Amino acid sequence: MGKYFGTDGVRGRVGQAPMTVDFTLRLASAAARVLAPEGGTVLIGKDTRVSGYMFESALEAGFTAAGVNVLMTGPLPTPAIAYLCRRMSTDFGIVISASHNPFFDNGIKFFDGNGDKLSDELEARIEANLDAPPITRDSSELGLAKRVDHARTDYEYFCRSTVPAGADFTAFKIVVDCSHGAAYKVAPRVMAELGADVIPIGSSPNGRNINLNCGSTRPELIQATVRGVAADIGIALDGDGDRVVMVDANGEIVDGDQLIYVLSLHAKESGALQGPVVGTVMSNLGLERSLQSHGIEFRRAAVGDRNVLAMLKDCGGHIGGEASGHVIDLAKTTTGDGLIVALQVLAVMEETGRSLAELAGDMPRLPQTLINVRSEAPVNVDAAPIRAAVEAVESRLAERGRVVLRPSGTEPVVRVMVEGDDAEEVAASAEEIAAVVRESSIAD
């Protein structure tokens, strides 16, 4: 990670560095120097945060002043911008979003003209230009800015095109939780257009309720709703629509690991699976064991969907992702797309006649406890007390489990994950390590 770019763009608390209008203006100018030095076109989308208007205006000013044309879509999922960059042949794209974070955070993510996230080298070059004064070209060379009215319908058509021809979801009663976020229009409409009986929730954004007690990070609402209306399935997206977790008819959560298993096994059985399946160091050991039992190779990347993407491309695979719901199918699109993943799972259900509970139930999950230890100051996870606590737990678990300890790239937290065969032992071990991390944070 760079000084400003983390695992998923630039992100932070609105009004605090780097998420200020001044920084955003300089970021636009620096990006123009690197990505469109001779002029060009940038596509800008956003989620539903109230601060999105402010950052959109700052980016528009910075880019047009630098001679870059600006196309603005308004609220659309992050993967929609990745797709539209390719469709509209723009030089690059930007999404204003802090994904699953609360409304008082925001961020800026970049895509290149192919809909891929920027390389580390390009991000470093942008950072190197941040201290230069913003560009203001002569009036005759300024960029133009306009809204793109057809962006949403273009993306909806693309989503529908990813399911098999003739797909008919009329048999499904579906609850769709849009997290009051960027997918609040497109997700219910796409499902309805494919015939499903759709019950939308989390679809009334007011600028301040994005991810608030709903969506993929707070699935309790959709669990209760699925049970309450006797739905066949629930689909919970996050604020920018690139994550999804699903809920079966019993109200039980089906996470990203299980969705990866369902899609990978179906792809293998249909002869469409290419290369290994890629997860991360946080992926449940049950996913690895289940895939291997079907002769499917599994590899682990560092946390972050860009790391999963990089490994998929290196090893020739096309399915991968994270338990959090970042699931990628490169046979369908270039980045994680919660709506498209949900459509593929529904297509498997329709083709096989099996429920989501039956499909996901074939993958047993090992007990796993994740504790996020919040700290406003950086924590050295290699400090002697922390390493000693980790080694003590690893020694006790031996071959029966594993420990993952890492600072988050998107939030000021240290993630402590312990996994093993015994749920009580796993939970106690995770808290044991987390307590030492908290003490180290206070001491620092």
213-235 tens-digit pLDDT: 999 999 999 999 999 999 999 99
The reply to whether 112 and 186 lie within a common domain is no
Active-site pick, 99, 179, 203, 440: 99
User: Residue 384: inside a domain, yes or no?
Assistant: yes
Candidates 326, 330, 335; CA nearest to 409 is 326
Q: Residues 259-280: pLDDT tens digits?
A: 999 999 999 999 999 999 999 9
User: Residue 62: inside a domain, yes or no?
Assistant: yes
CATH number (domain holding residue 391): 3.30.310.50
The reply to whether 308 and 229 lie within a common domain is no
The reply to whether 399 and 422 lie within a common domain is yes
CB 365 within 8 A of CB 284: yes
- pLDDT of 304 reads 86
The reply to whether 310 and 287 lie within a common domain is yes
List the chain pLDDT tens, one digit each, 444 residues: 578 998 789 999 999 999 999 999 999 999 999 999 999 999 999 999 999 999 999 999 999 999 999 999 999 999 999 999 999 999 999 999 999 999 999 999 999 999 999 999 999 999 999 999 999 999 999 999 999 999 999 999 999 999 999 889 999 999 999 999 999 999 999 999 999 999 999 999 999 999 999 999 999 999 999 999 999 999 999 999 999 999 999 999 999 999 999 999 999 999 999 999 999 999 998 999 999 999 999 999 998 888 999 999 999 999 999 999 999 999 999 999 999 999 999 999 999 999 999 999 999 899 999 999 998 778 888 899 999 999 999 999 988 889 999 888 667 899 999 999 899 999 999 999 999 999 887 665
The reply to whether 141 and 191 lie within a common domain is no
The reply to whether 277 and 327 lie within a common domain is yes
**What's the CA angle centered on 10, arms 413 and 323, to 5 degrees?**
50
Number of residues assigned to the chain: 444
The reply to whether 11 and 118 lie within a common domain is yes
128: enclosing H helix or E strand: helix 120-128
99 is catalytic: yes
The reply to whether 69 and 148 lie within a common domain is yes
The reply to whether 76 and 201 lie within a common domain is no
State the residue for tokens 């690059």.
92
The reply to whether 267 and 391 lie within a common domain is no
CATH number (domain holding residue 146): 3.40.120.10
The reply to whether 314 and 392 lie within a common domain is no
- Residue 272 makes CB contacts below 8 A (sequence gap 6+) with 331
User: Domain span at residue 430?
Assistant: 368-443
- How distant, in Å, are the alpha carbons of 118, 176, 355, 379, 439 from that of 171? 41, 16, 12, 51, 53
